[in-house]
Structure 1
Amino acid sequence: MSDHLVVCTHCGGVNRLPEQRSALSGKCGKCGNKLFEGHPADVGGDQFDKQVSRSSVPVLVDVWAPWCGPCQAMAPAYESAARELEPNVRLIKLNSDANQPIAARLGISGIPTMILFENGRERARTSGAMPAGEIVRWVRQHLPA
């Protein structure tokens, strides 16, 4: 059995959780907040990089913008998908307007775009709004069982 590395969305602390311990009840050793709360955290540059590069849990990123109608329409579905996928997948949101250098580095040409990262590498990406069930199916089809 191996430990999981989980990055706190509140303080960025990297936490080591034993595999047999429920990650749903895990708290950050640095700030004390729950590591998984059943909703996606809106992150900025440093937090985004840390989530993707340091977490051993796959990370699903929703790249969005406040003015984007389809992004706003998909937000409740993404929230619902977080409740179903966590703690096996970390769901985060990245505002492309507030984080333009990262959006450019990711090659974002349309939003909403979801990118699935595993072990620091992009595993899959898709653009366009999806309902919650479709988000969950899309993620599961791209991760090994």
Structure 2
Amino acid sequence: MAEDAGNVVVVCPACGTKNRVRAAQSGRVRCALCHADLPWQVSADDRTFAVVVEESSLPVLVDVWAPWCGPCRMVSPIVEQMSREFAGRLKVVKVNSDESPGVSRRHTISSIPTLLMYQDGKETARLIGAHPAPQLQQWVQQQLSV
């Protein structure tokens, strides 16, 4: 996925078509050619958090991380995998805590990585620290089932 001015280019896992996806839009993201659900992973910051996360019609998994954080680097590929695994059911948003201190302050985040689950514009769950992939996937699945 390549990011450009609030948009990302996502290659469809079903047909290989490149699709431009906006960071903030309603509904699910689908391939323009074959209409398969696309993995939706974008970034947000202090300025864009409200529109990208809180206004999403899909549940949102927010990954608050920092580039210097070892546990964050361990969790990142798992989070990316979940954007593919739950395509059409989940939007994944990455927030760099160093570049977005307002988001961290607002959510009283004192440890990273912190995963936040948002549904209908509100935080509904939180998971702090690095956890194994099966535990993270089960946690997300459980949140989506609520």
Matches within 5 A, 1:98-117: 98-117=99-118
**1:24 is aligned to 2:13:** no
Deviation at 1:71, TM superposition (A): 0.3
In the TM superposition, residue 52 of structure 1 has moved relative to its aligned partner by: 2.0
For structure 2, list consecutive stretches of 5 or more residues without a partner in the other structure. 1-5, 8-21
Are the counterparts in 2 of residues 64 and 93 from structure 1 also a CA contact under 8 Å? yes
Q: What is the identity percentage for the equivalent residue pairs of Structure 1 and Structure 2?
A: 35
Greater per-residue helix proportion:
1
Question: What's 1:3 paired with?
Answer: none
Taking structure 1 as reference, are residues 57 and 26 closer, same or farther at Cα in structure 2, changes over 3 Å only? farther
TM-score norm. by structure 1 comes to 0.74
- Residues 53 and 121, structure 2, Cα contact 8 Å, conserved in 1: yes
Q: Which amino acid aligns with 2:94?
A: K
**Equivalent residue for 1:14, pick from 14, 25, 30:** 25
RMSD across aligned C-alpha pairs, in angstroms? 2.4
* CA-CA distance at 1:40 after TM superposition: 2.6
Q: TM-score, normalised by structure 2?
A: 0.74
Q: Where in structure 2 are the equivalents of 1:1-145 lying within 5 Å?
A: 10=7, 11-15=22-26, 23-25=29-31, 37-38=38-39, 40-144=41-145
Query: Given residue 87 of structure 1, which amino acid in structure 2 is its aligned partner?
Result: G
Is the deviation greater in 70-79 or in 107-116?
70-79
16 and 71 in structure 1: CA distance in 2 versus 1, 3 angstrom threshold: closer
Moved over 3 A (4+): none
